Amino acid sequence: MDFRDTPEEAAFRQEVREFIAREAPKLEHGAGIDVVSGYAQVFVQSQGWFKKLGEKGWIAPAWPKEYGGAGMTAMQQFILNEEMALARAPRPLHLIIGVGMAGPTLIVHGTEEQKKYYLPRILSGEDIWCQGYSEPEAGSDLASLRTRAVRNGDDYIINGQKIWTSIAHLAKWMILLARTDPDAPKHKGITYFILDMKSPGVEVRPLINMAGGQEFNEVFFDSVRVPKSNIIGEENRGWYAAMSTLDFERSAIGSAIGLRQTVEDIIRYAREHTENGSSMLHLNPMLRYELVDRLLEAEVGQMLSYRIISLQAKGLVPNYEASIVKLYNMELNQRIARTGMSVLGPYGQLDRASKWAPLKGRLEHMYLRSVGSTIEGGTSEIQRNIIATRGLGLPRGD
């Protein structure tokens, strides 16, 4: 890996830094890190900032310019994400599914009418999207989904259930996979729909997590009508559309930097929190070793992200390398949360509502929320299987 920027990359990095310093709202460290919890007030304070990002095409940096994006290279996207994370600048997290999934799929497979209607509304933040993929019996094996779509004139009638549907309670539209040919092999006979979340027969039930947040939902479909014009791509070929994305940057550099910043916040607290005139680091010398371990591990996470972008910059597509990043960062997230709670002691159990909560209660939320980090987006077991078979060439187990 070459850690040096080219002259063009250095100029772009400076442009990003100056823009953030000039335009980004000044929020307290750590504000808005959580996907839903604590994001509402940041969203309100950051509307002007999001609008300015959109004007530069930086809401959707990977999208082609003709669709309102910035048409950035993978390295430019990496630099933008890295500098945003380093500055702890607010990100438009409410647009993540629309920008990162629905938009790219529409750009590749959508009709011109679909692109003209939906893409501008995604970028403006007018429409929030959710993803209707996983089901109770079709999570890691998504192609086993059972939600049915039956043709009825110019419509399809949808019946079934989706689960772990992030921000479905806020979304206006859903990208939905449903089975239209039950007799076809499981990777075939699936169609990709755009579903109006206000349609009669759609019921959203919240799934409250351990941290008290409503990020996920389960969604039920009871004879929901979806017009044929809301199909993305071809009937019975939705699996292939679902697997298609633009070549946008996926190095997870923002996550890696966020973890390092959390460790730095814990270290700062341990230095400043005193008892009888001595800091926690002096009272408990072994704590230094634990904190150093976490800091070094966070640096390793960054190096893994640099490996991903190095591959992409060479025109290669990361495969098992992306699974390594996901596995490592999510398990590190849990270790950092445990270390943080150990440093904060009993006060670490106080949530954001308490004025006595250290670090504004962020560690309490992180500790509870981190339980799910090795499950969502592909469990650690799934990631290890991918690394073993695709990365190490080991045979599949029976």
Residues serving a catalytic function are 249
Q: How far apart are CA 380 and CA 367, in angstroms?
A: 18
Q: What are phi and psi of 202, to 5 degrees?
A: -90, 125
Q: How far apart are CA 170 and CA 128, in angstroms?
A: 7
Query: 79: which residues sit within 8 A by CB, 6+ positions away?
Result: 5, 9, 12, 13, 16
The SS3 of residue 134 is: coil
Q: If we measure between CA atoms, which residue out of 33, 84, 32, 39 comes closest to residue 58?
A: 84
CA dist 114 → 120, 149, 348 (Å): 10, 20, 48
Site of tokens 């996983």 = 134
The SS3 of residue 172 is: coil
Instruction: Give the pairing of strands 274-275 and 278-279.
Output: antiparallel
* Distance in Å from the first CA to the final CA of the chain: 37
DSSP character for 237?
A: B
Q: What's the number of CA atoms in the CB half-sphere (13 Å) around residue 335?
A: 18
Q: How far apart are CA 395 and CA 389, in angstroms?
A: 6
**Whether the Cβ atoms of residue 350 and residue 21 lie closer than 8 Å to each other:** no
The SS3 of residue 91 is: coil
Q: If we measure between CA atoms, which residue out of 22, 26, 16, 33 comes closest to residue 84?
A: 16
The single-letter code of the amino acid at 339 is T
CA dist 369 → 186, 199, 303, 334, 362 (Å): 33, 32, 25, 9, 10
**Whether the Cβ atoms of residue 236 and residue 189 lie closer than 8 Å to each other:** yes
Q: What's the token pair of residue 134?
A: 């996983």
Q: If we measure between CA atoms, which residue out of 103, 242, 244 comes closest to residue 179?
A: 242
